[in-house]
Structure 1
Amino acid sequence: MVGPVVGMLLGVADSVVNHVPVMLGEIGTASAERGGWSQAAEFAGLILDAGWAWAATAVLAGWWVSRHARPAAGMLHGALAGGLALGFATTAYYGAELLFNGSAWWGVETRFWLIASVLLGPPLGVAGAAIRLPGPAGVVAALVVPAGGALQMAVLPPPAASLMAEPVRWSTWIVAVAAAGFVARGFLGRDAVASPAGPGRGPLGR
C-alpha cells in the first residue's frame, strides 16, 4: 500500500499547489506581483513538478517496502512499489486536473506519463531497496536522488521567468549536497566500525 499512497499524495499535492493562484484569484496577476501564499505555492509547485521529486517518490516507496525483506525479495517488492507509486501519482495528478479544469482525463499526455511510470518506476523502486545493501552498491543507490536533483538543476532548471526559480534551484543544490555528504559520512563511518564478524549495513544505517 505504500506505493499507491505516496503516489496519490504526490499527484494530488502537485496539482493542488499549481492551482493556488487560481483559487486566490491571482491568475491574471504577474508572477512577481502575487501574494505570499501564491509565491509559496509556486515554490512548492516547481519542486513537485520536477522529475527528481517524482523519482524520489519511487525510490522512497522501494526503500520503505524492503525494510523487512531479504535482499532478493526486497528488490522485487521495491520494483512493484516504485511502479505503483509513479502510476498512482500520474493517475491522481490528472484526476485532480480533471476536477480543477474539467479537461479530459485520458489523453496523449496521460498515456505518455503512465508508460513512463511503468518503465521508470520499477528500476527506481529497486534503487530504493538497494540502499539497504552494504558496500558501494548501497552508496550508489543512495546517491540516485541527490545526483538526479543536482543534474536536473544544472541541465533543466526551473523557468527563469518565475520569481521562485533561483530559490528552488539553490535549495535543491543545497539539499542534494547535504544528502550526498550524509551518505558519504554513513558509508565511511560504517567502514570504520565494520568487523569481519558480520556484514556492514547500508549507507543510511539500515
Structure 2
Amino acid sequence: MTDEIRKTYLQAAEKAVHLLATEQVARRWETESVLPGMSVGGLAGHLARSVLQVEWFLDGRVVGAEPVSPVRYYARLADTSLPDSALNVGVRARSVETAAAGPAVVAEQARAAWVRLTQRLGMESADRRVAVLHRPGEEMLLDGYLQTRCVELAVHLDDLALSVDAPCRVPDAALAVAVDVLVAAARDRHGDQAVLHALARRERDVDQALRVL
C-alpha cells in the first residue's frame, strides 16, 4: 500500500505541476474560475497546496496523537456546499495567500516541491505521521494524508483545466483513490441506506448523500 499510494500521489501531483506552469493558467490568473467566488489564481493556489502542504506537514512537529483516517478527514466536514461557511472561507483565504506570489512563482514552488517529494517520500517509513497544521494537535499517517491529496488533486485538476480550457486527464489511479475515499466518507456521514438511494434511487436521495465536498 505504501509504495502504491505514494506513486499514485506523485503521478497526480506531476499533472498539477504541469498544468500550473501553462500559459493558459497564467493568462487567466485574475479571471473567474468555474468555482463561484474563486479566481483562476485562487484555484491554482489551492491546487498547488496539495503539493506544497505535503512538505509543510512532513516538517511539522508530531506528538503522537491518534491519527485521523482519510475517511474521517472528509466525513466530519460541515457545510461543504455553503460558499460562506467557515470551512470554505478558510479554504479560499489560504488559497489566495498562496496565489499572491503570482503564477510563475506558484508554478515553480510546486515544481520544486514535487521534485523533492519524489525523493523524500521513498525514504519515509510506512508508519510515518504528519501534523495537520491547519488543525493544531491533529495528525494523520502520511499515506492516509496522501490519499486526501489524491482527492484534492483529482477534483481540482478537473476544476482548473475546465477554468482555462486546457486538456488535462487525471491519472486513473488517483481517480480511483478519490472515489474510494469520498464514497467511504459518504457512507460514514449518511449511512449505507442513504448512499444506496443516491446510487440507485435518486428520487429518494433527500440528503444528496454522495455530495461530500
Report the TM-score when normalising by structure 1. 0.29
- Greater relative CO, 1 or 2 (CA 8 Å, sep 6+): 2
If each structure's helix is expressed as a fraction of its own residues, which one has the higher value?
A: 1
